[in-house]
Amino acid sequence: MKIALKLAKEAYEAGEVPIGAVIVLDGEVIAAARNRVEEFQDVQAHAELLVMRQAAALLGNWRLLGATLYCTLEPCAMCAGAILLSRLKRLVYAAPDKRLGAAGSYINLFTAGHPFHQINPEPGILAEESAHLMCSFFQQRRNAKSVSHPN
């Protein structure tokens, strides 16, 4: 999770929502990514999706059996769907996302009885650090808007 948090900080510095993700297989990090939505102008460039693509390319298989995804924020519905479809063994995330989280904070796609795969998300690892980074990012954005558009 520390690697994912480092990637989230890189995303922050690049003007992206600060989310980082890594995939671990057999105790080894096999893929790492950060959000790149703004950079790529692609709503699908979430850290979780990018890291799953990297891992699949490395393994030569879209089924990520036995792998663990670590991410700094609770996945959204789009990413949760991809996590289920990819057959990841575990999902570990840091901070909850009350606005868009699909592991129980907003909705829970992981308890819906998916026909192919079940996964029990594990929240809370380095949650405080991740939440602080997210809050700082959005506070900075709000401050920048108020400076550039004083009323």
The CB density around residue 112, as the number of other CB atoms within 10 Å, is: 12
The residue type of 126 is L
Whole-number CA gyration radius for the chain: 15
Alpha-carbon distance of 31 to 20, in angstroms, equals 11
Burial class (CB in 10 A: 0-12, 13-18, 19+), 79: buried
Query: 13, 38, 39, 48: which is the annotated catalytic residue?
Result: 48
Active site residue 74: no
Alpha-carbon distance of 137 to 19, in angstroms, equals 11
Q: What positions carry a catalytic annotation?
A: 48
